[in-house]
Amino acid sequence: MTTAEKITALRALLGDNQANYTDDQLTVFLDLAGAEILNWYYWGNIPADQMDVPSQFEQTQLFAVIAGINGQGTENELARTENGISISFAHPEMVDYIRCNTRPLAKLEW
């Protein structure tokens, strides 16, 4: 999936919330999420030829961006109570979402 296709998907998933973000801002979110996925997946030893997020993690990248955008709107709170209404967030930030939904690569070296 290209960056343009990912931005189109993000705009569809975000609905009315997407009006606040430019393509450049969404690209920065995608780049940050992609870098974190690669770093987490490869345990910090990203192969020199691996520049893009593997296709199996593109959905994780998209939903991590949404978690990051939603976290900004709630000031990265884990939970809050207002007027007797309690809200808690399963994934309060983008990095948390990635680490809960991406299994690091297991590699044995002899």
> Which one, of 21, 55, 24, lies nearest residue 37 by Cα?
55
Average pLDDT over residues 44-48: 91
Six-digit token pair at 91?
């994934």
12-40 residue pLDDT tens: 998 876 668 899 999 999 999 999 999 99
| pLDDT greater at residue 89 or residue 53 | 53
DSSP state of 15: G
When pLDDT is averaged across residues 45-71 and rounded to a whole number, the result is 91
Backbone angles phi, psi at 98, to 5 degrees: -65, -45
Q: 61-105, pLDDT tens digit by residue?
A: 999 999 888 766 566 566 778 888 877 666 668 888 899 999 998
Per-residue model confidence (pLDDT) at position 70: 78
The predicted pLDDT at position 93 comes to 80
Residues 81/46, Cβ–Cβ less than 8 Å: no
Asked if residues 80 and 86 have their Cβ atoms less than 8 Å apart, the reply is: yes
Distance CA 45, CA 104 (A): 11
